[in-house]
């Protein structure tokens, strides 16, 4: 495992911070509470204090790190190029190995990591989750923020392992069906396959390619992330594809980081580098090829939501917008303060529900200010978080993945249809 990700944060990385404070207004938790210790600069200072032995990893220090969303808005805002992503991931790995959490926290974390990365387990729980959703228990049960109706029939139907290109093939691509995405949003995966095929790609979906390890990596569970990453690398090597396509911002961000994850392991480093080099968000991939399939008009006003792990972590901002603007009739509008996280942030809305809600309510107020009837979001966690809060406010706004709109324009499909 790369030292950068499992050892205490490197001193040199900490010292890259020059305390300018440019990152403070970008940080959602600093905006919520105005506390230095809940800002990027304050958290880096805490890391410094820990590294120098000036402070201990006690409950209050751990809380400031737990309250960080890992949204990476500070990466974008920082003019000095501070690698906050590496700093927080290695800090979280330290916490994971050194801190004994309360029995409730341990149980909640154990439940999250025993269920969400495993699609078959998630699927077995789907009837129970649908019942809880029907009974509107979202705000009562732990993890309720992620409750939404699951289309069990669609989620149980695997995608074809190989879908041929329509017309002459111009690429052979692999698609990650994933874990949460596969069960909660099977329609997004199906739409991705149809669009890629219509655009001249043979699409391979390795059935056994499940969780990419993003949830684990972003929560400091580095060994677990590494095990998932190894399995995925093998699956896509066997598939012999030109590109590995991903339609989940958090997964794409983690998969592009495999090169760093395995940097110190000679037997995996080169394979991880080769894999990461092939990873493309679906919008990135489609932006690189000349559109071939005709787009029929969609007369709608659509607000595009920048998922943090796409915009800040992968710096993919323009491509999804270009993809949507390629649909005749579609009017794209910007969400005010669009660089701000929606509060979902992987497992954050499960582990820090009050803060996630506060940040999420700011986001949906900005969404509603656009007047758009549709929001396009490239990350399932963001979609669930925003949909739940919009529903609570009685707003009739539909959240879709950008690829579902492209699919509707190319194939005339109803949005959300698996």
Which residues of this protein are in contact with ligand SF4, per CB under 6 A? 17-23, 26-29, 40-41, 43-44, 68-74, 77-78, 80, 82, 84
Q: Which two tokens stand for residue 357?
A: 């809600």
Smallest distance from ligand SF4 to CB 73, Å:
4
Residue among 74 and 222 whose Cβ is closer to ligand SF4: 74
Q: Which two tokens stand for residue 292?
A: 């071939």
- Report phi then psi at 343, rounded to 5: 95, -5
Residue of 66, 94, 70, 74 lying closest to 9 (CA atoms): 94
Residue among 74 and 122 whose Cβ is closer to ligand SF4: 74
Answer whether 374's CB lies under 8 Å from 324's CB: no
Secondary-structure percent of the chain, ordered helix, strand, coil, rounded to 5? 55, 10, 35
Residue among 24 and 324 whose Cβ is closer to ligand SF4: 24
Smallest distance from ligand SF4 to CB 28, Å:
5
Answer whether 248's CB lies under 8 Å from 215's CB: no
Residue among 70 and 143 whose Cβ is closer to ligand SF4: 70
Distance CA 107, CA 101 (A): 10
Smallest distance from ligand SF4 to CB 262, Å:
23
Residue among 46 and 129 whose Cβ is closer to ligand SF4: 46
Smallest distance from ligand SF4 to CB 324, Å:
26
Count of H-run helices and E-run strands, the chain: 24, 9
Distance CA 177, CA 235 (A): 12
Smallest distance from ligand SF4 to CB 145, Å:
17
Residue among 9 and 186 whose Cβ is closer to ligand SF4: 9
Would you call 204 helix, strand, or coil by DSSP?
Answer: strand
Answer whether 187's CB lies under 8 Å from 154's CB: yes
Alpha helices in 17-101 (DSSP H): 28-33, 40-51, 59-66, 73-77, 84-98
Strands 300-305 and 374-377: parallel
Residue among 201 and 249 whose Cβ is closer to ligand SF4: 249
Smallest distance from ligand SF4 to CB 80, Å:
4
Residue of 14, 70, 47, 90 lying closest to 312 (CA atoms): 70
Smallest distance from ligand SF4 to CB 65, Å:
9
Smallest distance from ligand SF4 to CB 41, Å:
4
Q: Which two tokens stand for residue 164?
A: 């041929």
Distance CA 289, CA 291 (A): 6
User: Cα 96 to chain center, whole Å?
Assistant: 21
Smallest distance from ligand SF4 to CB 195, Å:
31
Q: How many Cα atoms within 13 Å fall on the side-chain side of residue 186? A: 17
């Amino acid at each position: 495992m790369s030292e950068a990700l499992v050892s205490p944060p490197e001193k040199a990385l900490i010292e890259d911070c020059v305390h300018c404070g440019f990152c403070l207004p970008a940080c959602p938790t600093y905006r919520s509470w105005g506390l230095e210790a809940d800002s990027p600069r304050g958290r880096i200072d805490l890391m410094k204090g820990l590294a120098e032995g000036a402070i201990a990893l006690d409950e209050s220090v751990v809380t400031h790190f737990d309250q960080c969303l890992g949204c990476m808005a500070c990466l974008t805002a920082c003019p000095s190029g501070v690698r906050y992503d590496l700093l927080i991931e290695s800090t979280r790995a330290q916490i994971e190995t050194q801190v004994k959490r309360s029995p409730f926290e341990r149980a909640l974390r154990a439940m999250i990591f025993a269920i969400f990365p495993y699609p078959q387990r998630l699927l077995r729980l789907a009837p129970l989750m649908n019942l809880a959703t029907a009974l509107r228990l979202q705000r009562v049960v732990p993890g309720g923020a992620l409750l939404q109706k699951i289309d069990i029939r669609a989620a149980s139907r695997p995608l074809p392992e190989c879908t041929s290109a329509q017309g002459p093939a111009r690429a052979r691509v692999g698609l990650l069906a994933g874990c949460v995405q596969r069960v909660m949003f099977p329609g997004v995966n199906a739409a991705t396959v149809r669009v890629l095929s219509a655009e001249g790609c043979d699409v391979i979906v390795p059935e056994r390619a499940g969780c990419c390890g993003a949830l684990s990596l972003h929560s400091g569970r580095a060994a677990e992330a590494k095990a998932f990453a190894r399995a995925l690398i093998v699956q896509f090597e066997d598939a012999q594809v030109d590109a590995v396509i991903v339609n989940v911002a958090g997964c794409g961000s983690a998969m592009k980081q495999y090169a760093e994850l395995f940097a110190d392991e000679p037997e995996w480093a080169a394979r991880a580098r080769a894999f990461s080099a092939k990873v493309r968000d679906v919008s990135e991939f489609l932006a690189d090829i000349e559109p071939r399939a005709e787009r029929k008009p969609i007369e709608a006003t659509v607000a595009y939501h920048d998922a943090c792990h796409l915009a800040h972590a992968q710096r993919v901002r323009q491509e999804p917008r270009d993809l949507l603007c390629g649909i005749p009739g579609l009017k794209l509008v910007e969400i005010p303060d669009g660089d701000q996280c929606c509060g979902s942030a992987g497992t954050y809305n499960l582990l820090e529900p009050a803060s996630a809600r506060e940040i999420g309510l700011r986001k949906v107020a900005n969404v509603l200010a656009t007047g758009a009837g549709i929001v396009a979001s490239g990350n399932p966690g963001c979609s669930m978080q925003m949909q739940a809060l919009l529903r609570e406010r009685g707003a009739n706004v539909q959240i879709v993945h950008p690829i579902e709109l492209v699919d509707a324009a190319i194939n005339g499909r109803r949005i959300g249809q698996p």
